[in-house]
Chain A
Amino acid sequence: MHLSLDNALKSRVFPKGLLDKFSGSAVAYSLRKLSNVFTGFGVEARRSGDNTEANVSLPVNADSSITVSSGSSLATTFGGFVTEGGNKDAFIDTWYDQSGNARNATQSNSLYQPKIADSGTVNDDLDFDGTDDTFPIDVGSSPATFSIFFVAEVEAFTGSARIFQFGTGNTSTFTLRSDNGDGTYEVEAFIRTSGTNGRYRWDIPANQTGVFSAIFDYSNFEIDLYLNGSLLTRTDAVVPTGTWTVPTGNFLNISGPGVFLNSSFKELIFYPSDQSANRTAIEDDINSYYAIYS
């Protein structure tokens, strides 16, 4: 007997993930499941004390099932893993890429790993300590234009810190960073070129978890930053001159290098393309899960 489901029924029984609806991401990291096609784990976690490591299924929370990858544990859930033999902290050494490109973000240095559990309590985000925590990411091919969507709490403004940076070196970097240069909470895009460097600034609320969207077109140095679905008004703009050559290495850092962010992340998706046409729908998908704004 052959069974078939009409599309409406299929969408109810098998609701599409964000990446199923909006394909083409270069990398996609989240603590929720972003794609029906992706069958892997969400993160690999290392617990304090005995440094045992385990892969954690999606969505990542205290009830998630685990598979021990190194060391020894009788726990079957992530919550059990971090309370086994006493309450432990847990840190992330791998944030698995759900894009299908297998570009997992790995941090093999224990001191640089963001924290996901405090004294036996599993948190709903990855906490970067502002001292040295960072995730280097290979985003693959060189994009002419890129779009980044991330869910984060940009907190603890003490000077400035990089939210993420695309490329390194003395020319052609794109840095999105927190800043409190004039005493207010700001996000600044810093564009380093062969000529005069540019910057754009936007005010943001203090210590607020938000859905941030940034779409950068380097052909005309245009960048728009959205917070919770709304275009932020620039408070300052210095348009760069010269040329911006796509950085070699094609890497992106969440936090760092050099100046580190004291903030927490739930999700980051990088498209090597202009996603302006899909921006609202992508933000709606993100917000329908996290319920950050109305």
Chain B
Amino acid sequence: MYLVFNTEDEATNRADAEGQRIGYAYWISGNGTRRLNSPRQTKKPLVGPAKWALDVSQYQLTDEEKSQTVESVVWPPLDPPID
């Protein structure tokens, strides 16, 4: 389950907010664990820039966010291609 953002900063800020809510070490001591996960860039569409998807399966979401989630996104090809 993903939330999709226009920019990496927006997605990272959401990941940071969840890490802060959980109370990871980074938000207490400035070091160590900071987030649950990080956003990944999606495949660039034919028109417009690529977006940033954040897996929020383990996040505490607002009702508004719940209504904005998607079950899947399209990723760019693996880097580098194997075989």
- Interchain Cβ contacts within 8 Å, total number: 73
Is A177 on the interface with B (CB-CB < 8 A)?
A: yes
The segment out of A33-41, A78-86, A168-176, A203-211 that lies at the interface is A168-176
- Report which of B23, B31, B37, B58 forms a contact with A51, defined as CB distance below 8 A: B23
- Report which of A108, A173, A190 forms a contact with B33, defined as CB distance below 8 A: A108
Residue contact A70 to B31, C-beta cutoff 8 Å: yes
Is B46 on the interface with A (CB-CB < 8 A)?
A: no
Give the docked Cα–Cα distance between A237 and B34 (Å).
43
Residue contact B80 to A175, C-beta cutoff 8 Å: yes
Residue contact A51 to B25, C-beta cutoff 8 Å: yes
Is A183 on the interface with B (CB-CB < 8 A)?
A: no
Q: Which of B25, B31, B34 has the most CB atoms of chain A within a 10 A radius of its CB? A: B25
Interface of A is mostly: mixed
Number of B interface residues at 8 Å Cβ cutoff, please give it: 21
Is B36 on the interface with A (CB-CB < 8 A)?
A: yes
Is B79 on the interface with A (CB-CB < 8 A)?
A: yes
Give the docked Cα–Cα distance between A44 and B82 (Å).
34
Within 8 A of B (CB), among A85-113: 93-94, 108-113
Residue contact B80 to A46, C-beta cutoff 8 Å: no
Residue contact A46 to B79, C-beta cutoff 8 Å: no
Residue contact A110 to B36, C-beta cutoff 8 Å: yes
Closest chain-A Cβ to B74's Cβ sits at a distance in Å of: 15
Closest chain-B Cβ to A288's Cβ sits at a distance in Å of: 34
CB neighbours of A129 from chain B (8 A): none
Give the docked Cα–Cα distance between A173 and B81 (Å).
11
Is A32 on the interface with B (CB-CB < 8 A)?
A: no
Interface residues of chain A, those whose CB is within 8 Å of chain B, are: 44, 46, 51-53, 69-71, 93-94, 108-113, 132, 160, 168-170, 173, 175, 177, 181, 190, 192, 197, 257-259
Interface residues of chain B, those whose CB is within 8 Å of chain A, are: 22-26, 28-29, 31-38, 58, 78-80, 82-83
Contact sample, A vs B, 24 pairs, CB 8 Å cutoff: A44-B32, A46-B24, A46-B32, A46-B33, A51-B25, A69-B25, A69-B31, A70-B31, A93-B32, A108-B33, A108-B34, A108-B35, A109-B35, A109-B38, A160-B82, A169-B79, A170-B79, A173-B80, A175-B82, A190-B80, A190-B82, A257-B79, A258-B78, A259-B78
